Amino acid sequence: MISIIVSLLLIGVIVYISCIFTILIKKNKDSILNKNSSTLSSLSSFNKQTLQYCADIIYYIYDTYDKSLKEPIDLKEVQTDIDEKFNLENTKLLFTSSTLFGGGIANCYYTIAGIIGQIKGSDEGIIVFRGTKNTNEWIQDGSSIMTTNLSEKGLYDLSPETLPKSTKVGEGWWNYYNKKENVYPSNNNCICNGKCKNGTCSICKNVSKIKNFSSCEKTKKCNLGLQKCDSCNDNTSKQQLPVLSEIIVEYIKENPQIKSYLMTAHSLGSAVCSLSAYHIAKVFSPKSINNIYTFASPKSANDESVKQYNQMLENKTYRLANTKDIVTLVPPNLKHVGSNKYTFTFSKKGYTETNYHDPNTGYVDNFDLLNH
C-alpha cells in the first residue's frame, strides 16, 4: 500500500514537471533547433561543447516526437535532417511501445524514444534517449518504485541465468526498454491494440504518426489514452515488434565499423540509458561504450545492480545531477549508478523545478559548477 501511495506521488511530481517542461521546450526549441548545432569529430572529451551538443540532440528528439503526434512524419526525411544537423550518418530512430498500465489498455508502439547512429567520418557512434512526454511514460516512471530482477527476466540476447543474482532495476524502465507487447498492425498503417472488428479498432493516442507505418488518419478520440481507428483491416494478425533493447543490439551487430558509442539522455531516458549501457557492456564489452552523459537521471537500480554497473562503467559515466532538481532524488528505494562527482547545487531567483530539470538552464549553463 505504501509503495502504491509513493508511486502515485512520484507520478504526480513527474506529471507536473513534464507538463511545464513541455512548455519550456516549445519556448526554447527555436533558439536551439534552428541554428547549426555543434558538429564534433569526437565526443570523447568532457567539456561544455560536448554537453551542448548532447542537449541539442535531446531537444531535437523531444521536438520530433511532438511533431509526430500532430501529423505523419517521413522517417527518411527525419533521419536525413538529423544527419545534417548533427554531423551523423547511418542514423536510425528508436521506438518503444510506451505501454499504458502494463500493456493491458494501450500498446503505443512506434513512440519515438531516441536515435542511434554514427558520427560522420569516425568510428564512433551515438545513442540518445529523450525523457518523459506522455501519460504512459509518467505511469512507467511511477511504477519504477517497484523493481524487476534481471536475473529472472533477462535482457535481449542475454538469458537470465547469465546475469548476476539480485540485480534489480526500476520495473517501468525495464518495461520501456525490454518488454515485448502484442500489437495488431493493419494493412492501412493502424497499429491496433486488439483485433480489428468491422473496420474499427482502438489505437494509442500517444503513438507517433509515421508514414507507411502508423499514420492512420481516420480516428476518433476516446478515453484512457486511446483513439478509435475507423479504417483498419479485418484480417489484422497479432505481432510482437522489436523493442528498444533488440533494435540497439542488432544495430551494433550490423555496424561493426563503429568501435564505441557515446550515450546521452535526459530524465526518464537517463534511467533507460543506464540500463542500456549495462546491457551493451554485457552483450559486447565495456569497450563498446565511449562515455555516458546523462542529465537529471532518476535513481535507477538497487545496490547490486549499481555495483555491477560501476565495475564496468563508473569511470565512463558522467551523471549530471542538480540537487535542486527533485527528479534526481527519486525513487527513494533505488540508487544512482556512477559516482556523485558530477552532482552540484544551483539555485536562481525566479527559477522553478522545471528550470532546474531543463538540460540547458539546469545543467549545461552551469557547467562551471561541476566538480570535474
Return averaged pLDDT per consecutive 10 residues of the chain, 372 residues in all.
Answer: 52 50 47 42 78 96 94 94 96 83 64 96 96 87 93 94 93 92 81 83 86 79 74 77 95 98 97 98 97 97 97 97 94 95 92 92 91 64
Q: How far is it, in rounded angstroms, from Cα 337 to Cα 26?
A: 31
Instruction: Please tell me the predicted confidence (pLDDT) of residue 35.
Output: 40
Q: What is the DSSP code string of 193-233?
A: SS--BTTBEEEETTS--BTTTS----EEE-STTEEEESS--
Q: Is residue 99 part of a domain?
A: no
Tell me if 205 is assigned to some domain. Answer: no
- Cell numbers linked to 205: 493516442
318 falls within a domain? yes
Instruction: Tell me, yes or no, whether 346 lies in a domain.
Output: yes
pLDDT (0 to 100) of residue 106: 63
- Dihedral sign (CA 101, 102, 105, 109): positive
Structural domain that includes position 128: 2-92+111-178+262-369
Give Cβ neighbours of residue 138 (< 8 Å, ≥ 6 apart): 11, 14, 15, 18, 132
Matching residue, cell 505523419? 72
What type of residue is 60? Y
Question: Does residue 138 lie in a domain region?
Answer: yes
Residue 34 resides in a domain: yes
| Within a domain: 270 | yes
Q: Is residue 121 part of a domain?
A: yes
- pTM equals 0.90
Find the CATH number of the domain harbouring 8: 3.40.50
Domains in the chain, number = 1
Determine the number of helices (DSSP H) and then strands (DSSP E) in the chain. 10, 15
Question: CA neighbours within 13 Å on the CB side: how many for 158?
Answer: 22
Percentages of the chain per state (helix, strand, coil), in multiples of 5 = 40, 20, 35
